[in-house]
Chains A and B, each alone.
Chain A
Amino acid sequence: MSKTYPNGLEALREVSFEVRKGEIHAIVGENGAGKSTLMNILFGLIKPTSGEILFNNNHFSPKHPSEAIDLGIGMVHQHFKLVQSITVAENIVLGMENRFQSKLRRVDREAMNESVASLIDRLRMSISPDDRIDSLPISKRQQVEILKVLYREADFVILDEPTAVLAPNEVEDFLEFVRGIREMGKTVIFISHRLGEVFSLADRITILRRGNVIGTFDKRDVDRESVANMMIGTATDLSEDPPDCLGNESVLSVEGISDVSGTIRDLSFQLREGEILGFAGVGGNGQEELFEALAGSLRLVSGDIRLVGSSISSLDTLERRRAGLALITDDRMGKGLAPDRSIVENCMAGHHKFGKFGKWLIKDTDARSFTESIVADYDVRCGKNIKTAVRALSGGNMQKLLVGREIAYEPVVLVAAQPTAGVDVAAKKLIHDSFRRLVKTGSGVILISGDLEEIMGLANRIIVLYRGRAVTEMTHPHYDPTEISYYMTGIRGAQDDRYSHS
Chain B
Amino acid sequence: MIGTRTLSFRKLLLSLLLVLCILSVWALIIWFGGESPFKGFRYIIEGSLGNHYQFLSTLNKMVPLILAAAAVAVPAWTGMWNIGGEGQLLLGAFGAALVGFSIDFGVGLVNIVVALIVSAAFGMAWAAWPAFFKIKLRMDEVVTTLMGNYIAAQLIAYLINNPFRDPRSPLAQTPYIKSSFVIPYLFEGSQFSATFFVAIGMVLVLFIFRKRFITGYEFDITGSNPVFAGLSGIRVKKTKLLSMLIGGALAGLAGGLLVLGMTQRVMQSFSPGYGFTGLLICLLAFNDPLLIVGIAFLFSALQTGSVNLQLFTSVPAEISGVLQAVMVLFVAAFKTFIVGRREG
Chain A residues with CB under 8 Å of chain B are 295, 297, 316-318, 321-322, 327, 329, 334-342, 344-345, 348-350, 352-353, 357-362, 364, 367, 387-389
Contact = CB atoms under 8 A, between A and B. Distances in A.
A377 B232 CA distance: 21
B221 interface: yes
Contact of A339 (B225, B233, B235): B225
B217 interface: yes
Name the prevailing secondary structure of the B interface residues.
helix
Nearest to B340: A340
B2 A387 contact: yes
23 contacts: A316-B235, A318-B233, A318-B235, A321-B233, A327-B231, A337-B225, A338-B228, A340-B225, A341-B3, A341-B220, A341-B221, A342-B2, A345-B221, A348-B217, A349-B234, A350-B234, A352-B217, A352-B218, A353-B234, A359-B214, A362-B214, A367-B2, A387-B5
A362 B4 contact: no
B213 A360 contact: yes
Contacts of B113: none
Contacts of B215: 360
Contacts of A342: 2-4
Nearest to B3: A342
Given A389-B6, A389-B7, A362 B212 contact: yes
B233 A362 contact: no
Interface of B: 1-7, 212-215, 217-218, 220-221, 224-225, 227-235
Contact of A364 (B1, B225, B233): B1
B76 to A, nearest CB: 14
Contacts of A349: 221, 228-229, 232, 234
B214 A297 contact: no
Given A338-B229, A353-B232, A364-B2, 17 more contacts: A327-B231, A334-B228, A335-B227, A338-B228, A341-B224, A342-B3, A345-B2, A349-B221, A350-B232, A350-B233, A353-B233, A357-B214, A358-B214, A362-B217, A387-B5, A389-B4, A389-B7
A321 B235 CA distance: 13
Given A338-B221, A349-B228, A361-B214, A317 B233 contact: yes
Contacts of B5: 387
Contact of B231 (A297, A345, A360): A297
Nearest to B1: A364
A341 B214 contact: no
Contact of A335 (B3, B218, B228, B233): B228
Nearest to B218: A352
B12 to A, nearest CB: 16
